[in-house]
């Protein structure tokens, strides 16, 4: 929709820019494999951007974003553009593009051997960003102006856009001190050095004709931003005079007390998230009323896939318009659409009733346009029809939501405190398990999955297309499992896994075997780099019709005398990595999942499995952004894990896995889970987690990852030995497991074999050295 003096503006925060059929992923991976050139990759990217901008324009979006497209990660893009490139990636005669990818995923080829940069979860989502590294030596300069390039690219297509830039305060505070930084160095101290580069970038946009620029400052929804008032005032006082009109964008939460200084900043517009921060609306309207600031309302959720209730959205919009007027209100999505699939249009396996419940990125753009049109007083019959159709859809969904599974609800209501506790404390269980499992000192294991080869994916696709029978598929999977088991025996791993060749995804696989889920064919969202997932959708009460993993874990155990570890995804992670229901609490959904998993753990023990790993990589990710909200979350998140794992005997060893988050602030909560063994990402974050162990101690067994599996780079044996030695300088030697950072699903067999052989050899060295 085109907005003018008498109409309300509408806005879409765009991205996913990976293409409806993951064209960017395919092109990037083809480039890595040497199958296409850099020019061909650029051409493929241009086609995806063109399709995205055109689709938004066709759906009536008035303020179309540009500059948010990425080949790998938008924060990495910003680091590369601002010359925040660690020295280890320079001096290798690599192109700028290959330096960029080396920072994201590491590089080990043609005499170059550099690890990937650290990744971290993007706020409370399952998206991973590449963490910038800063020091006093950081030499900021504008290597290229990505926002300007894409603005001009869209302009050449006849599409006016609003460029998007990561703001200076968020850029610095989301980064970390580099290894060579001086003690006590804080990245925010570099603000005076980085602002001239921002001024150049923004001035160039203004000269090119950009009317607005969206400057993202998501850290404003964090408690820590309260200490940055002076820095915000300084930064935007410098930027505003040289910039196009600045729309300061916040999302994923509420401003709270930070609003007091944000409303005083010299910006033209402020975006707020009304999906995650609905209660802030009245306070924000009151704060901006005496200012000239335009208010952008994030009414349509950028985090879920449910069709927006337009009637409820209109109430919010009318509240703002009644106070500020049409010319000072923008209707938008709550955040970028990074976390949603591209379009529902290609889904043909959902029932018509199910399909009517959902709204993906392009459909959300239409919802934004319709809301803006109604608030502007549109008399267009198509707009009126869209509102009526939405009202009917919401009514039908509410009718479905009122149904429930009485047996499931009664079982949740019957949970008692004793169901959350193991029969004996860890010290007792440890002795029992030592005899039962008979593992050596510094036992070695993996996190669960082994490479998902092209052959495995092809076999699964053939089964889905009914080109092979269930029997043929199972025979194939048996051979894959046996291959994984024999490999682990041959190299000398101690606690084995079956490799998970039958699993498509660590959440989807379980959702497909539980009641209460539905699935998409093309509902892909980006997790990191070229890694995409299809989150299941929880639509009703969850229960387990029968065993989900017992068959393959039991088969694997029958092949070996070594102990086999059963592999499950935990209740909090299944919840957080699915699109949850919006009509009932997350607590209720999580407890239903926990009961289903409890039954599975019990059945695995009955089948002779001696260890079971219940992964909770999303436990920290699900933690609310504001500390005041932590306790209510932890009150159900921790018990749900314990409920899932506590129904077994002392002899069964429970494991859990965590990755890519800052755990130091909730480490006592991880201890309270009472898992016998936890494995946790450590190598990619410079082993900084060891400082947390030193601060808090850890009484149960633990396996800090000794190498990064998100990179194709193979760690040397000495490298792993050094990491083990660092761990043993802090951890008691009777508690240490030795394992990779994460599962091996995305890796190739060649690198997996070499890496694990080096890991096993390092463990043998440790047994001799620390005997």
| Known binding-site positions for L-methionine | 447-449, 500, 615
Q: Which of 128, 339, 498, 710 is catalytic?
A: 710
- Distance in angstroms between the alpha carbons of the first and the last residue of the chain: 72
**DSSP code string of 486-549:** HHHHHHT-SBB--B-TT-S-TTHHHHTTSEEEE--SS--EEEETTEEE---EEEEEEE-SS-SS
The dihedral sign for the CA sequence 231, 232, 235, 241: negative
Angle at which helix 229-239 crosses helix 191-207, to 10 degrees, equals 30
Q: What tokens appear for 640 in the block?
A: 């749900």
Both tokens of residue 184? Answer: 């006590």
CA distances to 70, 154, 297, 422, 708 from 76, in Å: 9, 22, 28, 44, 18
User: How many Cβ atoms sit within 10 Å of the Cβ of residue 140?
Assistant: 16
Query: Is 273 in contact with 505 (CB distance < 8 Å)?
Result: no
Write out the binding residues for L-homocysteine. Answer: 447-449, 615
Question: How many residues are there in the chain?
Answer: 771
Count helices and strands in the chain by DSSP H and E runs: 27, 23
Burial-class residue 79 by CB neighbours within 10 Å (0-12, 13-18, 19+): buried
> In this structure, what token pair is assigned to residue 215?
């400057």
Residue 219 structure tokens: 């850290």
Taking alpha carbons only, the member of 275, 526, 565 closest to residue 444 is 565
Reported as half-sphere exposure (CB side, CA atoms, 13 A), residue 284 has a value of 28
3-state secondary structure of 708: coil
List the binding residues for 5-methyltetrahydropteroyltri-L-glutamate: 25, 126, 577
Instruction: Please name every residue paired with 528 in a beta bridge, in sequence order, or none if there are none.
Output: 531
- Report d(CA 298, CA 529) in Å as an integer: 27
DSSP class of residue 178 equals -
CA separation for the pair 688, 275 (Å, rounded):
34
Residue pair 707/715 in contact by the 8 Å Cβ criterion = yes
Q: Which pairing describes strands 119-121 and 128-130: parallel, antiparallel, or unpaired? A: antiparallel
Sign of the alpha-carbon dihedral angle for 345, 348, 354, 360: negative
Q: Which residues are annotated as a binding site?
A: 25, 126, 447-449, 500, 577, 615, 657, 659, 681, 742
710 is catalytic: yes
Which residue, among 185, 167, 168, 166, has the nearest Cα to 176 in the 3D structure? Answer: 185
Residue given tokens 């059963």 in the structure block:
566
* Beta strand residue intervals within 565-721, DSSP E: 565-569, 611-615, 653-658, 677-680, 701-704
DSSP conformation class of 59: T
3-state secondary structure of 67: coil
* Residue 753 buriedness (CB in 10 A; 0-12 / 13-18 / 19+): middle
Integer Cα distance of 281 and 320 in angstroms? 8
> 10 Å Cβ neighbour count for 44?
20
- Dmax over CA atoms of the chain, in Å, equals 82
Tell me the catalytic residues. 710
């Amino acid at each position: 929709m085109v907005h003018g003096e008498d109409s309300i503006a509408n806005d879409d925060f765009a991205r996913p820019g990976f293409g409806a059929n993951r064209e960017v992923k395919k092109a990037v991976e083809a480039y890595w494999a040497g199958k296409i050139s850099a020019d061909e990759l650029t051409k493929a990217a241009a086609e995806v951007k063109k399709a995205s901008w055109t689709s938004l324009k066709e759906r009536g979006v008035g303020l179309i974003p540009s500059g948010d497209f990425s080949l790998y990660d938008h924060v990495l893009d910003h680091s590369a553009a601002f010359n925040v490139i660690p020295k280890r990636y320079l001096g290798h005669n690599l192109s700028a593009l290959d330096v960029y990818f080396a920072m994201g995923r590491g590089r080990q080829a043609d005499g170059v051997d550099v690890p990937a940069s650290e990744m971290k979860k993007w706020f409370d989502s399952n998206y991973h960003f590449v963490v910038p590294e800063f020091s006093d030596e950081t030499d900021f300069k504008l290597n290229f102006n990505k926002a300007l390039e894409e603005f001009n690219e869209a302009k050449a297509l006849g599409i006016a856009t609003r460029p998007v830039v990561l703001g200076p305060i968020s850029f610095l505070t989301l980064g970390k001190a580099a290894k060579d930084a001086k003690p006590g160095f804080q990245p925010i101290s570099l603000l005076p050095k980085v602002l001239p580069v921002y001024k150049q970038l923004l001035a160039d946009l203004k000269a090119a004709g950009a009317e607005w620029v969206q400057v993202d400052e998501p850290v404003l929804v964090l408690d820590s931003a309260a200490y940055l008032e002076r820095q915000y005032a300084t930064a935007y006082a410098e930027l505003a005079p040289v910039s196009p009109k600045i729309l300061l964008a916040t999302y994923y939460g509420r401003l709270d007390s930070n609003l007091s200084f944000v409303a005083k900043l010299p910006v033209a517009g402020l975006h707020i998230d009304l999906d995650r921060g609905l209660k802030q609306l009245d306070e924000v309207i009151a704060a901006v009323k005496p200012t000239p600031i335009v208010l952008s309302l994030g009414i349509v959720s950028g985090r879920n896939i449910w069709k927006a209730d337009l009637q409820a959205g209109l109430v919010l919009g009318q509240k703002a318009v009644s106070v500020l007027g049409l010319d000072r209100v923008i209707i938008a999505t709550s955040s970028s659409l990074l976390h949603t699939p591209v379009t529902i249009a290609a889904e043909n396996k959902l029932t018509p009733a199910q399909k009517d419940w959902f709204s993906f990125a392009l459909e959300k753009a239409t919802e934004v346009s319709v809301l803006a049109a109604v608030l502007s007083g549109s008399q267009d019959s198509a707009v009126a029809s869209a509102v009526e159709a939405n009202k009917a859809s919401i009514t039908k969904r509410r009718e479905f939501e009122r149904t429930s599974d009485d047996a499931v609800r009664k079982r949740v209501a019957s949970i008692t405190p004793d169901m959350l506790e193991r029969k004996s404390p860890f010290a007792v269980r440890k002795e029992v398990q030592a005899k039962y499992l008979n593992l050596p000192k510094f036992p070695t294991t993996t996190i669960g999955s082994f490479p998902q080869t092209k052959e495995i994916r092809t076999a699964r696709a053939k089964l889905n297309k009914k080109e092979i029978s269930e029997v043929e598929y199972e025979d194939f999977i048996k051979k894959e499992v046996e291959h994984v088991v024999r490999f682990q025996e041959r190299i000398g791993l101690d606690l084995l896994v079956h490799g998970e060749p039958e699993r498509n995804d660590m959440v989807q696989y379980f959702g497909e075997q539980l009641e209460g889920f539905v699935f998409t064919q093309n509902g892909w969202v980006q997790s990191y780099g070229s890694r995409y997932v299809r989150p299941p959708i929880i639509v009703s009460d969850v229960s387990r019709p029968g065993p989900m993993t017992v068959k393959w874990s039991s088969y694997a155990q029958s092949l070996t005398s070594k102990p086999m570890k059963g592999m499950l995804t935990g209740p909090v992670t299944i919840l957080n990595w699915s699109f949850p229901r919006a009509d009932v609490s997350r607590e209720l959904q999580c407890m239903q999942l926990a009961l289903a998993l409890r039954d599975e753990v019990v059945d695995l023990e009955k089948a002779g499995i001696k260890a079971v790993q219940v992964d909770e990589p999303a436990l920290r990710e699900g933690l609310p952004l504001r500390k005041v909200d932590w306790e209510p979350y932890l009150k159900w998140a921790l018990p749900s894990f314990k409920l899932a794992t506590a129904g077994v005997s002392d002899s069964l060893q429970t494991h859990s896995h965590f990755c890519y988050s800052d755990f130091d602030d909730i480490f006592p909560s991880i201890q309270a889970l009472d898992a016998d063994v936890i494995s946790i990402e450590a190598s990619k974050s410079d082993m900084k987690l060891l400082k947390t162990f030193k601060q808090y101690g850890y009484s149960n067994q633990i396996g800090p990852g000794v190498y990064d599996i998100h990179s194709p780079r193979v760690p040397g044996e000495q490298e792993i030995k050094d990491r083990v030695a660092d761990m043993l300088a802090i951890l008691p030697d009777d508690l240490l497991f030795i394992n990779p950072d994460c599962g091996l699903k995305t890796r190739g067999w060649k690198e997996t074999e070499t890496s694990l052989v080096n890991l096993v050899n390092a463990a043998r060295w440790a047994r001799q050295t620390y005997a």
